[in-house]
Structure 1
Amino acid sequence: MKFRKTALACTVAAVELLASEAGHAQSQDSPAAGNIDEIVVTAQKSGSETLQDVPISISVLSGDKLDTAGVSSVNDAIGRLPGVAVYETFQGNGSKFSIRGVSASPSIFSGSGTAAYYMDEVPFALVKTPLTPDANAYDLDRVEVLKGPQGTLYGASALAGVVRVLTKDANVDAFEAKAQGGVSSTEHGGDNYKGDVAVNVPLITGKLAIRAVASYEDLSGWVDRPAVPEKDYNGSRTESYRVKVAARPTERFTANLSAWISRSNLDGLNSSTANMTLPTVRDESTLTEYQIYGLNLAYSFDSFSIEAPTSYIDYKNDGDFEVSAVESQRTVLDAQTFTQELRAYSTTDGVWSWSVGASYRNAEDSRLVVIPVTYSHDAIDANKSESVAVYGEVGRKFADERFELRGGLRYFHDDVSLEETDRLTGITGEPIDSSSTFEKTTPRVVLSWFPSSRHTLYASYSQGFRSGFEQSGDAVAAAPGLSAVKPDLLTNYEIGAKGSAGVVSYEVATYYQSWQDPQVRQFVNIGTGAVPVYIATPSNGTDANGLGIDATLNFRITRGLTLGGSASWNDLSFSKDVYARTLKIYNKGDRLDESPELTGSLYADYGFDFGSTGYAGHFSTDVNYVSKLTTKNEGTGAVFEGDDVTTASMSFTVTAPYNWSARFFVDNLTDEDGVVRPTTSIRQYLVSRMRPRTVGVLFSYKY
């Protein structure tokens, strides 16, 4: 109750800031630097808007600042934002997001993600798994993180929010080239190497250009396996290639073609005991690779524009982990997704605005599970989804354009199926070919108030959802009558404010979430009573709800010094006991699996010149906190906890007048080694941990 009073007090304080307007403040949220009324976003799918005017709780990371900070991974940067937690999945080489405490099931084949993930205009969403790639952060335009459900604009899986990774388009007007390379060393591990290069070439000036980006990173391991023996066995190598072609044949028509190819090899799991060792002896490597292709056609009329983004994803995750001293389990996920969208939106400056759209998606996740010694059969299945959606939104400004009311709806229809040709237990039943149909209609209503050009206050009601899916044959055989998993729906009521006053810029939002039929997991026994073998099986829980608050403050102390911080708290928990058949798997008041209650950060940036030499220095440091994650073994009722994790980083950058810079940095300054992500496995050494303290230097050059 004390924290709830504090949350309301923070909201009142933010509203009181609206009463004064003492000029202009620069928000230099490292690495998301920029003025809140100058940062341009496209979050509402209705053309470009300034961040100040968007009535959504949204954080923006500048691509140029990510380059300057030497960030390799988009997810590393996103994990420092208020209300957001990012963690690696158990088998490695894949990431999951929790936004405002809303997280997917810990089991990676028990439902899609709760946050939609976009790479440019490509929606990266799989049918029955929450895995998302950890995209390379070099040469991006920006990253937008929308917090709160966005089902009307972004459709399925935008339950808790949206992550948009937006790369730089090819520049048809000028040649560009830049590169960076660095070395570092990890305590308890070895040396690391990375390099990136980006080149932009106008093929026909003003009409046609190509932009190419290549990246490579080699990270040392830091976990030992004494029984092999093997030191630093969990090293990794990642390579990424990106090509974009931009065509501007007329002033009104544009076409952007893109290809993104990535391959990552992880030699072992980033999990260990407290002394950074593992007792395993068998192969635990993971290969992840994907190819993403996109084409976006756009045409501008006098009063509106139309866009037609088309995309195709081919994704593969092939990983092993030890299940006993004599065998490893191999799991291979192959996924292909085709998406087509068509949308139109108004571009005039009148009091009315509108957007409409329709989308089609055809997706398939094919899975192979091999446990060769224990089972004579493999598990082979394919989950398919064919969906269509239509949506529209209209806005009206009034009272001399100081207020705006926007409302929208999205209708979603999804035909899902499961084709299972074999299962681990083999002889327990015939192949399965089942299907279901799911539908959802989600609304959004927002009232915005613009008391001045520096402040925005809004109140919103919105919904987000995930589609349902079929149960596996093994689960149905072990628990006859187990039904398909239904869609879940999250309703959000929110009041927020953002703006600047004097040396302060701020963003604050207070919200209440109501999560209906959340997709949770249970365990069913596919073995025998004497030799039980439990598999995680999804089901729908009872409603979960709770209050929350996100708050960010930035202070421009002097021309060179900026301080700031953020905090996010939520009280999301089950409103009553949750049963799976006759077994109670959650108690009233329990938090959901892998749902952090509190996140926070503090940072300081200081820039200065070295006299009149043309050289400049920049010092940056930040501290980030994520409260412990918990997860529950729904079969035994045992709760497993991670640790409260506090990390810090520090860097000093020297920029020369000759287009080069050198950045000296320390990541995980305090050598945090707590449990980031717990496990319900009896093998408790499988808990995830962070990379230890890493010290290095990064050199950059821009032509």
Structure 2
Amino acid sequence: MVGLDTRLVKIARGKRLMLLTATALAGIGGPAFAQATTASADTGGDEIVVTALKRSTNLQDTPISISAVTGESIANSGVQSIADLNSSVPSLAFVDGGPSNRRVVIRGIQAAGEPTVGTYYDETPVTGAIGAGNDAGGSTPELRLFDVERVEVLRGPQGTLYGSGSMGGTLRVIYQKPTFATEGAVDLSLSDTRYGGLNYEGSAMVNVPVVNDKIAVRAVGFYRNANGFIDNTALNIKNINDQKSYGGRFLVRFTPTEALTIDAAAYINRSRTDTNAWTLTSGKFKSDALTRQPVRDNLELYSLTANYDFGGVVLTGVVSYLDRDLDSVSDVSRFIRSTRTPAGCAARVSAGQPCSTAQLDNYYALVDSQSTSALFPQQTMKSWTAELRLSSDGSGPLNWTVGGFYSDRDTSVANPQSNADPVTGAIIEPQQIATVRFIDDSLRQVAAFGEFSYDVTDRLNLTAGGRYFRYNKDISGQTTIGSILVGAVVRPLSFVKSKEDGTVFKFNGSYKVTDNVLFYAEAAQGFRPGGANQVIGLAQELTPYKSDSLWNYEVGLKNTLFDRKLFLNVDVFQIDWSDMQITGRTPNGAFAFITNAGKARVRGAELEATIRPTAGFTITGNASYIDAKLRENQSNANVSAPGLKGDRIPYVPKFSAGIGAQYVWALTDTLSGFARIDGNTVGGSYSDFRPTGTFTRKIDSYQLVNARLGVEGPDNAWGAYLFVTNLFDDTAITRAQSSAIAVGRTLVNSAAPRTIGVNVRTKF
């Protein structure tokens, strides 16, 4: 679909075979990307402690499907945000619409609406902004992954401990915390992207004790300037998708007593770019958009966490505040121009009868006045969350966690269609508005949860958990300026409420077959809140929809073999999904909304492994097979092209795999050599349920390979590296879409072309 010639097709097939073969030889998996330097084979050198169960457990002894990517591996593989983790973790994927427009997906639970994956930065859950389509899951915040302790990915529902956003799984980023020692780190990179230009970025950290053993601060800052690689041929602008991002975080740790620890944190993130979508028929990395389509994302997150150890029981309290302003622009010029026909006039002006000459002239003048225009949604989100919980410390046969959770999220959206300058493509200021609607959305959630785990014997453990939840959603909307061209009618301010309460449960049993082999089985439930849309073009513009829910059944095996030289984990699962929330469109195809339709079933298997054949040499990998299909025909009067039984869930590839190999060796008494290669393959998928649908597009499979070669100083105190991302310069399309707005065109997003650069880093 990207017009590759025969030579490139052969290269792509050869790389796919190479990746699959290497993955198979590696044992297919990667539970941790653990200690990616000269990890020793002794027991103490490679244990990874995770806190996914709200208490500390060793990764291989945690009886759930969980992967942990260490901060060291994140740095060594060049990962910058959560969107770069998909090659490191089985069943983790992203519907990638570019910066500030990505959806996190685990195990194929992919749908518009509230997130299906709970994303946490430290103890704070975050969501995207709802936008005009009520799609909070489609713009997950992506904070910089520098100075990270680890990232934990929990697969399958985590509703008992992590709540409504975790029906498919949970992704947790745990940053390094202040320590009572003076230390710092600097990381600098300079690179060049094919079809683009020079990129430069830098990150730095400094940690300072203020009062010995009582108060310490840790400050992190970053700046990134990435040259674009997409040319806009309509506006004659090269590298239109330049991206700048900057920000940091400031953390304070206060330990007034040995039992009490208080952490305060502020996270700041700023991003500026133009959409990185390009038009397939215009040529590779060519956009024919008639307007500029900038994306501006300002995020601030503040949190306060306190832990008090009573001796055997730990009390944790968390409160956080998220403030996010997200503006974006999408070109609608061609859709407006496509209405400039006698038939368009008849349908919109004279009730289907041919327009008179005067009517046609006036109608054409109206179309011409909006012929270069764009939707310009501007949204502000403010969210409070709080959690209070008690947990055992894991020292006895009975371990437990009980707690309560509260969140209050308010979002305001202004969504005008505004005229743009036909020469520059920029939105004209002051704005010339053709139509505008306003949406205010408030979601409040409260929950009580508990999970209890008991060691029946020294090998058998049984766990049960539950969560009671209640949510209230209040939506108001109005259309103050109408437009016959898009079917927008002036509507007064109206309100709708949606509320629901219920319970979710989890049951888990695990058995240590030997000290190094753990078997577990689990049944767990997940849910997502419902709500209501404010949609132009429907008779009932505030259209309600219900919550959806699922049950996940799985069994798994965790193996630690050959004196800890091989970690091999495998699991199989089945997910039954009911009342699934899907995307519908208004009859004219111009506006999207959320509705419920049908059931789905997801069956799959996951493998992950780490192999350390010799000192300094580590091979990691992962693979997943996911068969995600509808169990019945979708039946809903609001859906114009419903899916049928057997149709695959959109954007869910059947097979994906990743592999990484790293070798560190002595060059001299003080210098070490470093070499690493990472690769992943992602199978094909469709953009909608019906493969033959008018707007459905096929997304082909792709493969990506990154490599890094360098020299490191004593104790890894400094390093200098050459690196390349997308080594074979694949045109890896990650998302393809079409709609009535696109007027027959296919818009795609893709991985960046081959980028070659140098990286230096030091710590002190």
Report the TM-score when normalising by structure 1: 0.90
Which position in structure 2 is the counterpart of 1:529?
none
For residues 469 and 79 of structure 1, the distance between their equivalents in structure 2, rounded to whole angstroms, comes to 34
After TM superposition, give the deviation of residue 212 of structure 1 in Å. Answer: 0.2
Aligned residues: 662
For residues 242 and 589 of structure 1, the distance between their equivalents in structure 2, rounded to whole angstroms, comes to 47
Which position in structure 2 is the counterpart of 1:63?
71
Which position in structure 2 is the counterpart of 1:224?
231
Which position in structure 2 is the counterpart of 1:497?
557
For residues 533 and 494 of structure 1, the distance between their equivalents in structure 2, rounded to whole angstroms, comes to 39
Q: 1:361 aligns with which of 403, 407, 411?
A: 407
Which position in structure 1 is the counterpart of 2:713?
656
Any idea what the Cα deviations from partners look like across 1:347-378, whole Å, max 9, x if unmatched?
A: 25222111101011111121111113597331
After TM superposition, give the deviation of residue 79 of structure 1 in Å. Answer: 4.5
Note the 1:659-670 alignment, pairs <5 A. Answer: 659-670=717-728
Note the 1:172-321 alignment, pairs <5 A. Answer: 173-273=180-280, 274-321=283-330
For residues 533 and 362 of structure 1, the distance between their equivalents in structure 2, rounded to whole angstroms, comes to 33
Structure 1 residues 577, 268: closer, same or farther in 2, change over 3 A?
closer
Greater CA drift, 349-358 or 307-316 = 349-358
Greater CA drift, 262-271 or 384-393 = 262-271
Which position in structure 1 is the counterpart of 2:175?
167
After TM superposition, give the deviation of residue 135 of structure 1 in Å. Answer: 1.7
Which position in structure 2 is the counterpart of 1:50?
58
Any idea what the Cα deviations from partners look like across 1:667-703, whole Å, max 9, x if unmatched?
A: 0011111321010233534211110000001000111
For residues 480 and 517 of structure 2, the distance between their equivalents in structure 1, rounded to whole angstroms, comes to 58
Which position in structure 1 is the counterpart of 2:685?
629
Greater CA drift, 62-71 or 565-574 = 62-71
After TM superposition, give the deviation of residue 507 of structure 1 in Å. Answer: 1.1
**Is this contact kept in 1: 2:630–2:646, CA < 8 A?**
yes
Q: Secondary structure at the match of 1:157?
A: helix
Structure 1 residues 423, 663: closer, same or farther in 2, change over 3 A?
farther
Which position in structure 1 is the counterpart of 2:380?
334
Which position in structure 1 is the counterpart of 2:151?
143
Structure 1 residues 97, 28: closer, same or farther in 2, change over 3 A?
closer
Which position in structure 2 is the counterpart of 1:560?
616
Structure 1 residues 553, 632: closer, same or farther in 2, change over 3 A?
same
Q: 1:508 aligns with which of 570, 573, 593?
A: 570
After TM superposition, give the deviation of residue 454 of structure 1 in Å. Answer: 2.1
Structure 1 residues 483, 330: closer, same or farther in 2, change over 3 A?
closer
Which position in structure 1 is the counterpart of 2:584?
522
**Is this contact kept in 2: 1:242–1:258, CA < 8 A?**
yes
After TM superposition, give the deviation of residue 30 of structure 1 in Å. Answer: 8.1
After TM superposition, give the deviation of residue 114 of structure 1 in Å. Answer: 0.8
Structure 1 residues 685, 636: closer, same or farther in 2, change over 3 A?
closer
For residues 615 and 436 of structure 1, the distance between their equivalents in structure 2, rounded to whole angstroms, comes to 63
The amino acid of 1:548's aligned partner reads G
Note the 1:442-461 alignment, pairs <5 A. Answer: 442-461=504-523
For residues 209 and 319 of structure 2, the distance between their equivalents in structure 1, rounded to whole angstroms, comes to 24
Q: Secondary structure at the match of 1:669?
A: coil
Q: Secondary structure at the match of 1:104?
A: coil
For residues 597 and 348 of structure 1, the distance between their equivalents in structure 2, rounded to whole angstroms, comes to 38
Greater CA drift, 412-421 or 93-102 = 93-102
**Is this contact kept in 2: 1:272–1:689, CA < 8 A?**
no
Q: Secondary structure at the match of 1:470?
A: strand
Note the 1:578-597 alignment, pairs <5 A. Answer: 578-581=634-637, 583=640, 585-597=642-654
After TM superposition, give the deviation of residue 646 of structure 1 in Å. Answer: 0.8
**Is this contact kept in 2: 1:457–1:497, CA < 8 A?**
yes
Greater CA drift, 272-281 or 390-399 = 272-281
Unaligned runs of 5+ in 2: 1-26, 334-370, 420-431, 483-487
For residues 230 and 148 of structure 1, the distance between their equivalents in structure 2, rounded to whole angstroms, comes to 44
Larger radius of gyration between Structure 1 and Structure 2: 2
After TM superposition, give the deviation of residue 336 of structure 1 in Å. Answer: 0.8
**Is this contact kept in 2: 1:632–1:680, CA < 8 A?**
no
Q: 2:117 aligns with which of 107, 115, 118?
A: 115
Structure 1 residues 564, 524: closer, same or farther in 2, change over 3 A?
same
After TM superposition, give the deviation of residue 26 of structure 1 in Å. Answer: 11
For residues 250 and 83 of structure 1, the distance between their equivalents in structure 2, rounded to whole angstroms, comes to 42
Which position in structure 2 is the counterpart of 1:5?
none
Which position in structure 2 is the counterpart of 1:464?
526
Which position in structure 2 is the counterpart of 1:569?
625
After TM superposition, give the deviation of residue 424 of structure 1 in Å. Answer: 6.3
For residues 579 and 534 of structure 1, the distance between their equivalents in structure 2, rounded to whole angstroms, comes to 21
Which position in structure 1 is the counterpart of 2:452?
394
**Is this contact kept in 1: 2:124–2:303, CA < 8 A?**
yes
Structure 1 residues 439, 246: closer, same or farther in 2, change over 3 A?
same
Q: 2:49 aligns with which of 40, 45, 65?
A: 40
Which position in structure 2 is the counterpart of 1:7?
none
For residues 269 and 27 of structure 1, the distance between their equivalents in structure 2, rounded to whole angstroms, comes to 31
Which position in structure 2 is the counterpart of 1:676?
734
After TM superposition, give the deviation of residue 279 of structure 1 in Å. Answer: 1.4
Which position in structure 2 is the counterpart of 1:694?
755
Q: 2:548 aligns with which of 488, 511, 514?
A: 488
The amino acid of 2:171's aligned partner reads V
Report the TM-score when normalising by structure 2: 0.83
The amino acid of 2:73's aligned partner reads K
Which position in structure 1 is the counterpart of 2:357?
none
**Is this contact kept in 2: 1:210–1:245, CA < 8 A?**
yes
After TM superposition, give the deviation of residue 63 of structure 1 in Å. Answer: 1.1
Note the 1:54-133 alignment, pairs <5 A. Answer: 54-89=62-97, 92-105=99-112, 111-126=113-128, 128=134, 129-130=136-137, 131-133=139-141
Which position in structure 1 is the counterpart of 2:340?
none
**Is this contact kept in 2: 1:208–1:247, CA < 8 A?**
yes
